[in-house]
Amino acid sequence: MSDHKVFIVAGTRPEAIKMAPVYKAMLKYDGLSPVLISTGQHREMLKQVFDWFEIKPDEDLKVMTPNQTVNQVLSRSLVGLDELISKYQPDAVLAQGDTTTVLAAALAAFNNKVSFGHVEAGLRTHTLDRPYPEEGYRQMAARVAKWHFAPTQKSVEALEAENLSGDIFKVGNTVIDALLETASRDHPPVVDSNGKDLVLITGHRRENHDKFRAVFEAFKQLASEYPEKVFVYPVHLNPNVRNLAHEVLAGVTNFKLIEPVSYPEIVSLMKQAILILTDSGGIQEEAPSLKVPLLVMRETTERQESVDAGAAKLIGTDPDKIFSEARRLLDSEVERKKMIVDQNPFGDGASALRICKIIDNSLNTPS
Ligand SMILES: CC(=O)N[C@@H]1[C@@H](OP(=O)(O)OP(=O)(O)OC[C@H]2O[C@@H](n3ccc(=O)[nH]c3=O)[C@H](O)[C@@H]2O)O[C@H](CO)[C@@H](O)[C@@H]1O
């Protein structure tokens, strides 16, 4: 019997990180033959990730051109994927998360009557504009999915409540596969902290942009309160974030504003840190595995599992709260240790293989 062909579509850095393990597991899996497709939504950052995992897209749609609307990106992705579906005739299409790339992959598959598998299914805030457009895209992708690969029980329950078509499977989050592989490979330290404690900060979310000035002032105050600690912030490429970060924080000697770092570098920084302050989704999933306490600078999260497990605390973006919560943890190793968990609620590093088995089984079962 010939192999079943499966498209694996990725467009942004987090999607590449989370789909690399699926692609690699599928390459080794008897009976499945993956085709890696990049839409190129985050061109540079995608290449860095693919290089680290030593994989190369079979096709690159290069959808980004300057000043496009979201609908232009969507329609270019759709048309590009349409052509590739007629070229390869895949048996299934997989995409991860909630970007324009994911919506395009789901729709392109649906319109060609090809089975669609949604990886990281069932994340919900239940508020369509929080975050916008991601919450809407997740819900739309779920409507046409044949396989919902949910990372946790909470996401399984969210999907069950929506009376969707398709089958729901709890498989864990593939980001833990990527993380554990990366953490097991040696990488030199990114920042020499001279033996001092390191606090890692990341912040880029659009929903937080208008709060960043006050948030950055809180970071400045923290850095002056703790001159013996080193604060490291790899600043996102978005010019709104960059300019403001440099305006408020450049010149603070123990606060290092650095360029966005590669995946092994952020993993190395997370391992080195005694505390992380972030608004990133992926880092909320990863930090519990690295046993680093996490303060989440968002009002709501679709990744409540790390909060429920006690590994993270949701603190919003109020500068006084950021300052006081960070101080509470920086002042007390006991408080920090309370946030270390034995098991990461997001997965165990074997999610990609589970996905391969389910797809193989399903494609070999007559409907
Ligand atoms: C609404 C929402 O929740 N949306 C999420 C958001 O993803 P996010 O918030 O997780 O995005 P980031 O924080 O950029 O990336 C995270 C990954 O990148 C690594 N990293 C980070 C900094 C760095 O300097 N170098 C790195 O390598 C890091 O360890 C982690 O694995 O957007 C995605 C679509 O773009 C969505 O699919 C995803 O749901």
Write the ipTM: 0.94
On whether residue 189 sits in a domain, the answer given is no
d(CA 220, CA 357): 49
206 is catalytic: yes
Give me the CATH number covering residue 242: 3.40.50.2000
Count of domains observed in the chain:
2
- Residues 235, 88, single domain; the answer is no
Q: Is residue 217 part of a domain?
A: yes
Q: Which atom of ligand 1 is nearest to the CA of 261?
A: 24
172 torsion bin: left (phi>0), alpha (psi -120 to 50), beta (else): left
Q: Collect the ranges in the chain with pLDDT lower than 70.
A: 1
Domain check: are 214 and 353 in the same one?
A: no
Q: Is 134 a catalytic residue?
A: yes
Does the active-site annotation cover 148?
A: no
For residues 207 and 150, membership in a common domain is answered with: no
Indicate whether 27 and 145 sit together in one domain.
Answer: yes
User: Are residues 228 and 85 both part of a single domain?
Assistant: no
Question: Would you say residue 260 lies in a domain?
Answer: yes
The answer to whether residue 46 sits within a structural domain is: yes
The structure's pTM equals 0.95
How remote is the CA of residue 280 from the centroid of ligand 1, in Å?
6
The answer to the question of residue 127 being in a domain is yes
Q: Is residue 193 part of a domain?
A: no
42 counts as catalytic? no
pLDDT at 186: 83
Contact yes or no for 244/210 (Cβ under 8 A) = no
* 49 CA: nearest ligand 1 atom: 27
Going by alpha carbons, the residue nearest to atom 15 of ligand 1 is 14
Is 272 a member of any domain? yes
145: how many CB neighbours lie within 10 A of its CB? Answer: 26
Residue bearing tokens 């329609």: 75
Q: Are strands 32-38 and 4-10 parallel, antiparallel or unpaired?
A: parallel
Measured in whole angstroms, the distance separating CA 266 from the mean position of its chain's CA atoms is 13
Q: Which residues pair with 314 in a beta bridge?
A: 296
> Does 185 participate in catalysis according to the annotation?
no
Catalytic residue among 120, 177, 279, 302: 120
Residues 118 and 251 in one domain: no
Mark whether 166 and 40 lie in a shared domain. yes
Domain match, 16 and 65 both: yes
281 CB near ligand 1 (under 6 Å): yes
Half-sphere exposure of 313 (CA within 13 A, CB side): 18
Q: How far apart are CA 147 and CA 16, in angstroms?
A: 20
Catalytic residue among 44, 83, 206, 259: 206
Q: What is the pLDDT of residue 205?
A: 83
For a mutational test of ligand 1's pocket, the pick from 18, 283, 294, i.e. the residue with the most ligand atoms closer than 8 A to its C-beta, is 283
The finding on whether 14 has its CB within 6 A of some atom of ligand 1 is: yes
Q: Is 166 in the pocket of ligand 1 (CB under 6 A)?
A: no
Q: Is residue 192 part of a domain?
A: no
Nearest residue to 13 via CA among 349, 263, 287, 289: 263
Residues 147 and 270 in one domain: no
Residues 8 and 99 reside in one and the same domain: yes
Task: Looking at the structure, tell me whether residues 353 and 323 fall in a common domain.
Answer: no
Give catalytic status of residue 228 as yes or no.
no
Atom of ligand 1 nearest to the CA of 282: 10
Query: 53-104: per-residue pLDDT in tens?
Result: 999 999 999 999 888 999 999 999 999 999 999 999 999 999 999 999 999 9
Do both 115 and 59 map to the same domain?
yes
For the four alpha carbons of 29, 154, 145 and 163, in that order, the dihedral sign comes to positive
For residue 58, give both structure tokens: 């079979």
CA dist 95 and 102 (Å) reads: 6
Q: Which domain range does residue 10 map to?
A: 4-172+349-363
Listed residue (48, 17, 40, 11) closest to 262, CA to CA: 48
* Helices 263-272 and 174-184, packing angle to 10 deg: 80
